[in-house]
Amino acid sequence: MKKIITMSLCLLFFLLLISCTHDKKPGHQTSSTVRPTNDLLAQIQKKGTIFVSTDPNYEPQSYLTEQGEFVGFDIDVAKEIGKRLGVQVKFSTPDWDLVAAGNWGGQWHMSVGSMAITTRRQEILDFAQPPYYYTVAQFAATNGAGINTLEDINGQSICVCVSTVYEDWLNGIVEFPKSSLYANPPMNATVIPLKTDNECVQSIQAGREEFAIFLTSNTIVEAAIKNGISVHKVGPPVFAENLAVAFDKNSVKDNARLVKKVSEIIVDMHEDGTLSTFSMKWFKEDRTKNPSI
């Protein structure tokens, strides 16, 4: 009897082996264990490193300390994404206009740099959804310049960071939902673009006189005031921004799984309070809720 049972089990095992072999065509491997060689997420996880572009002069979102350490809200978010991906984060600091233009050539894998979602950017960049935080655009001017209302800005020279939504909005390019727009651009303004938002602040601090007004994130304005720079807010915010992690649509590798995974991580960070904690740490208030809702 034992011999019969043993032979039956062997026969059953043989039939199962034939069935499994038949189902797998030569060269075929299941997607659950092996990813295509052009999968960016698989490459990142295999190498254990993700390269993230950010701004070294965008306090409090991201900046370099005197000791050469990256700190700020965006930096904390990027590191947490890396942690949840199980990889190390390495930062790159390309000029903002290069990041916003797409076609990164694989030099970095994603941007965690407070990039606002616009319809034009969506043509060349993929964005993780939902946004990881929200902010508003705010005018500021030097104290004593006599500029206190939005109407006072008409005909003035205004400093902005190049290739930002602030520059676009001043030039009449509106790519936000109507619910995110709170004012019209000033009339007959002269736009003076610099490499970073904080260069506008630092130029005023250094005594440059070709402009007395700048437009940037409310967080930058508040940081400047906190740091004792002689500027003040002008009028209420003019529009709201949805800030999201960005990826290059023309990535050398397929980034679909990476975008999906980071989107899932952002959702989890909203739900478990991580983003709110980072926001309170750097902004002293929770900016993770959409102000347009």
Q: In whole angstroms, what is the distance from residue 110 CA to residue 230 CA?
A: 35
33-88: per-residue pLDDT in tens? 445 679 999 999 999 999 999 999 999 999 999 999 999 999 999 999 999 999 99
CATH T-level assignment (fold) for domain 135-241: D-Maltodextrin-Binding Protein; domain 2 (3.40.190)
pTM: 0.80
Question: Which CATH architecture fits 40-133+242-283?
Answer: 3-Layer(aba) Sandwich (3.40)
181-229: per-residue pLDDT in tens? 999 999 999 999 999 999 999 999 999 889 999 999 999 999 999 999 9
Cα angle 179-221-91, degrees, rounded to a multiple of 5: 90
Which ranges in the chain are annotated with CATH 3.40.190.10?
A: 40-133+242-283, 135-241
What residues are paired with 137 via a beta bridge?
217, 239
Q: In whole angstroms, what is the distance from residue 293 CA to residue 111 CA?
A: 26
Report which residue type is found at 85: L
**Phi-psi category of residue 102: left, alpha or beta, with phi > 0 → left and psi -120 to 50 → alpha:** left
